[in-house]
């Protein structure tokens, strides 16, 4: 993971009132209302403007997930150095394919804060992906140079491994031919067990192209369907057989009359900016 914070270029800020007609109505209204209510404010940005949420999509030529936003993690607080409305965070997330030498060990005789065996992560990037990480850093600094200058003390840096939080592959899924390199089949049932299932980001066997929540949910739904089938019909199909999850298990996600349909307020969709 690479990280830096930049202060927006003056020319980008000065362009805001000049190009209001090109922007969504809600943004135009918000800027004009702010200027009217705070005529002495030098910035044409509302005080309570929502943080930007921009991504650069993963591609074969740019195999890393890029986020441009304003998210005050413990290491991303702007403090009194600059008006936070001018600061954006750049977080680029690289990948690492699974290799046997990278592993999770539960320690004997060492307990964590919950009294459980302490997990220790043994990790070293391969040469291929270490090079890719440096290319990612080069790309991030190029993006940063187009947006502005670096905020003091938030210069481009590689963050501590694991800080991305979305750890995966520790209980990875696989096919029958991949038993030696996986923990469970693609129904999330642990190999050689009848009633033991795993879940979470650790089941994803590949590198992530974005935050893995939806992938983990999809695998969990498949697992729940399989468990339900096992408890109700005692299926005889081969372990690990992959088949489409019945549509009835996904009705809650598409039918607005379903009581479990997710309630959210995402507002107006943003613009997709392509090359």
Query: Minimal CA–CA distance to 171: which of 215, 199, 203, 200?
Result: 203
Structure tokens at 107: 């320690």
48 carries an active-site annotation: no
Helix ranges, the chain (H): 10-18, 25-37, 127-147, 213-233, 251-254
Q: How open is the CA angle 160-164-168, to the nearest 5 degrees?
A: 110
Q: How are beta strands 117-122 and 148-150 bridged, if at all?
A: unpaired
Residue 191, phi-psi category: left (phi > 0), alpha (psi -120 to 50), beta (remainder): beta
**Catalytic option among 34, 187, 201, 211:** 211
Distance, CA of 271 to CA of 256 (rounded, Å): 25
Among residues 166, 195, 264, 265, the one annotated as catalytic is 166
- Contact, 188 vs 226, CB < 8 A? yes
Q: Which of 180, 204, 158, 184 is nearest to 64 (CA)?
A: 158
Residue pair 34/17 in contact (Cβ under 8 Å)? The answer is no
Alpha carbon of 236 to those of 99, 191, 194, 229: distances in Å?
A: 33, 16, 12, 11
Name 7's bridge partners. Answer: 87, 149
Pairing of strands 2-8, 87-93: antiparallel
- 166 part of the active site: yes
CA neighbor of 97 nearest in space, from 139, 59, 133: 133
Give me the active site residues, please.
166, 211
């Amino acid at each position: 993971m690479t990280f830096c914070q930049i202060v927006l270029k003056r020319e980008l800020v000065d362009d805001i009132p000049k190009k209001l007609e090109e922007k969504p109505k809600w943004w135009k209204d918000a800027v004009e209302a702010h200027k009217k209510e705070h005529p002495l404010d030098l910035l044409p940005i509302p005080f309570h403007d929502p943080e930007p949420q921009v991504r650069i999509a993963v591609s074969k030529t740019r195999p890393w997930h890029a986020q441009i936003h304003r998210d005050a993690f413990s290491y991303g607080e702007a403090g009194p150095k600059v008006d936070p409305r001018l600061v954006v965070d750049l977080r680029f997330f690289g990948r690492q394919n699974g290799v046997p030498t990278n592993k999770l060990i539960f320690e004997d005789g060492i307990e964590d804060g919950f009294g459980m065996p302490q997990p220790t992560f043994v990790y070293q990037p391969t040469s291929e992906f270490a090079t890719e990480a440096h290319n990612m850093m080069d790309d991030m600094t190029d993006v940063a140079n187009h947006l502005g200058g670096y905020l003091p003390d938030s210069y481009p840096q590689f963050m501590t491994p694991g800080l991305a939080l979305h750890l995966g592959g520790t209980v990875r899924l696989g096919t029958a031919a991949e038993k030696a390199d996986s923990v469970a089949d693609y129904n999330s049932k642990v190999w050689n067990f009848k009633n033991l299932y795993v879940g979470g980001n650790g089941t994803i066997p590949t590198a992530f192209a974005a935050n893995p929540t939806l992938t983990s949910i999809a695998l969990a739904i498949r697992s729940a369907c399989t468990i339900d089938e096992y408890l109700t019909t005692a299926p005889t199909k081969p372990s690990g057989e992959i088949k489409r999850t019945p549509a009835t298990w996904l009705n809650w996600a598409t039918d607005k009359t379903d009581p479990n349909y997710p309630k959210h307020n995402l507002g107006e969709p943003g613009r997709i900016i392509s090359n």
